[in-house]
Structure 1
Amino acid sequence: MDLIIPTISQGLLWSVMSIGVYLTFRVLDIADLTVEGSFPLGGAVAAALLTAGYNPITAILIACVAGMLSGVVTGFLHTKLKIPALLAGILSMIALYSVNLRIMGKANLSLLQLDTIFTIFPIPLDNQMMVLLVGFVIVLVVGIINYWFFGTEIGAAIRATGFNQHMIRANGVNTNTTIILGLLMSNGLVAVSGALVAQSNGFADVGMGVGTIVIGLASVIIGEVLFGTKSFRNCLISVVLGSIVYRIVIAIVLQIGMPPNDLKLFTAVLVTLALSMPLFKAKLNDKRRRMAR
C-alpha cells in the first residue's frame, strides 16, 4: 500500500496533463510541444503565488489562465503567422523557459512549510491519501467539464476541425478559432497539472517539464490500447487509466532496480511499443483470419 497509493495519486495528478495532450494529439490532430513549457509554467505560477501568500485554489486558477495564454500564443503563431504547428509549439516551449525563470526568479522554488491544495482542507487524512482524494476530485471535475463541452456545438466544431478541416470550413466554421480554442484548453489543463504536481512534490523547478509530451503520449496510447476508444467518454476514462498504468509501470521498474537515470530511455521504449501495438494487433487478427480459412 505504501507504493500503490502514492503511485495512483501521482497518476491522477499527471492524468490532467494527459487529457490536455489528448485534446491536441487526438482531437485536434496536432503534436503540440508547448506542453513542455506550459507544464512548468503552471508549477512556476502556482509556486510564485503561494510564496506570495495567495490561496492555493487561486494559485491553481491563475496558473490555468497562464497556461491558456501560452496555448493562445502557439495558436496565433500557427494560424495567423502560418508557422507549422510543431515548430510553433517548439518556439513557445523555448520562450516559456525564460518566462518561467522570470516568474520564479530562480531555477527552483521550494514550497515546504507553505499551505497547498492538499493541506488547506480540515480532513483527517495523511498526506498521500489527501493527494489521492484531491486528485480524484479534480480529475472527475475535469472529465465532466470536458465531456459536457465537447458535446456542445463549439466542442463538436473543434472535434470536426481535427477530423477534417476542409469539411468543417465548408460548413462556415472558422477553423483558426477552433484550433486556438483547442490549444487554449489543452495547455490550460497542462498548466493545472503542473501546479498540482509542484504542490505535491513540494517544489517547482524550471526543468520539470522535460519529457512531458512523451509521458502524455505514453498515457494516451497505453490507455487506448488497454481500455479502448469506443466513445469520447471512454477515451477520457482511458487516458486517466493509462496515466495511472504508466505510473504503476514506472514504480515497478524502479522497485526492480532500474537506475532512475534510465527512466527517459525506458519511457521512450514504452511509448514506441505502445504506438506499435495497433499494428501488431492488426497483423495478429489478420493471421487469425487466414488460419480460420
Structure 2
Amino acid sequence: MDFYLTALLQGLCFSALALGIYISMKIFNIPDITTNGSYTLGGAITGIMLTNHQSTYLILPIVIFAGGIAGALTGLITTKLKVNALLAGILVMTGLHSVNLIIMGRSNLPLISTSSLFSILNIAADPNHNTFWILSVFVAIITLMIGYLLKTDFGIAMRATGNSESMVRALGVDTDRMKIVGLALANALTALSGYMIVQFQAFADINMGQAIVIIGLGSVIIAESFINWFNITNVWIILILVLIGAIIFQLVLALTLAIGVDPNLLSLTTSTFVLLIVSLPRLSFGKAS
C-alpha cells in the first residue's frame, strides 16, 4: 500500500509540471523543451538553498522567479528573434544545464538532514500521510490560482492567442507578450514541480530533468482523453483532470514495477505507455471511419 501511496505523492509533486505542460502545449500550442532545464533549475536552487539552511518559504518565490525567467527567455527568442519554438527551447535547456551545474557545484546534492516543506508542519503522525496532506493543500492552492488566472480577461486573451493568434492580434492584443508570459508561467510551474520533488525524494541531481517532459506530456494526454470523451470545456474541470492525469501516470508506472518489470526498462515502459495513450483514440477513430 505504501508503494502506491508513494506513487500518489509523486503524482502530486508532478502536478505543477503537468499544469505547465498544459499551458505551453495545449493553450499556446508550443512544444517547449525548456521544461527539462527549468525543472532541474527548480530542483537545483531548492537543493543548494536547503543545504545552506535557508527557509523553504524563502526558496519558493526564488524558484518561481527563476523558472519564469527561463520560460520568458525562450519566449523572447521565439517571438523577437523569430527562432523556431522547439529550437529556442532546446537552446535554453542546453544553457540551463551549465547554469544548474554552477548553482549546485556538483552533480548530486543529498538532503537527508535538511528541513523541508513536509517537515515544517505535523498534520498527521505518519510521515507519508503528513506529506500527502501538505502536498494536497499546496497543489490545491496552485490550481486555484491558475484557474482564477485563466478565467480573467488576461487569461481569456492567453487562451484565445493559442486558438486563433491572427484574430487576437487583429483585436489589438500583443500576442508576442502573451506567449512570453505564457511560457514564463509554464516554466515557473515546472520549476515549482522540481522544488517539490527534490524535497520529497531528499536529493537533487543534475540529470533529474532528463526526459521529464514525457511525464508531463503523458499526464496531459491522459487528461485530454477524458476531456475529449466527455466534451469538457469548463476550465476548472480541465485543470482537475490534468492533476488526475499526473497521478494516474505515476500509478501506472508503480503498477508496472509492482508486476515485476525490470526498473532498467522503466524509461522504455514510460515512452511506450505515452505512445499507447496517443495511439488508441486515433486507431479507434480510424476504424470508425
After TM superposition, the score normalised by the length of structure 1 is 0.94
Q: Per-residue displacement from partner, 1:208-262 (whole Å, max 9, x unpaired)? A: 0011111111001112214656022222111111111111110011011111111
The answer as to 2:135 corresponding to 1:135 is yes
CA contact (8 A) 2:49 2:59 kept: yes
Aligned to 1:14: 14
Structure 1 residue runs of 4 or more that deviate by more than 6 Å after TM superposition: none
Aligned to 1:267: 270
CA contact (8 A) 1:42 1:60 kept: no
Aligned to 1:184: 184
What is the number of residues matched between the two proteins? 286
2:180 & 2:271 partners in 1: Cα distance? 29
Q: Per-residue displacement from partner, 1:50-105 (whole Å, max 9, x unpaired)? A: 11221112212211111001001101110111111000000011000000000011
2:125 & 2:78 partners in 1: Cα distance? 46
Give, as a single letter, the amino acid of the residue that structure 2 aligns with 1:180.
I
Shift of 1:267: 1.1
1:175 & 1:226 partners in 2: Cα distance? 29
CA contact (8 A) 2:45 2:104 kept: yes
Aligned to 2:244: 241
CA contact (8 A) 2:122 2:130 kept: no
Aligned to 1:199: 199
Shift of 1:2: 1.4
2:236 & 2:283 partners in 1: Cα distance? 26
Alignment RMSD, CA only? 1.3
After TM superposition, the score normalised by the length of structure 2 is 0.96
SS at match of 1:109: strand
2:128 & 2:212 partners in 1: Cα distance? 23
Q: Per-residue displacement from partner, 1:170-190 (whole Å, max 9, x unpaired)? A: 000001100000001000000
Shift of 1:123: 3.0
Q: How do 1:1-293 residues align onto structure 2 when only pairs under 5 Å count? A: 1-226=1-226, 228=228, 230-231=232-233, 232-283=235-286, 286=288
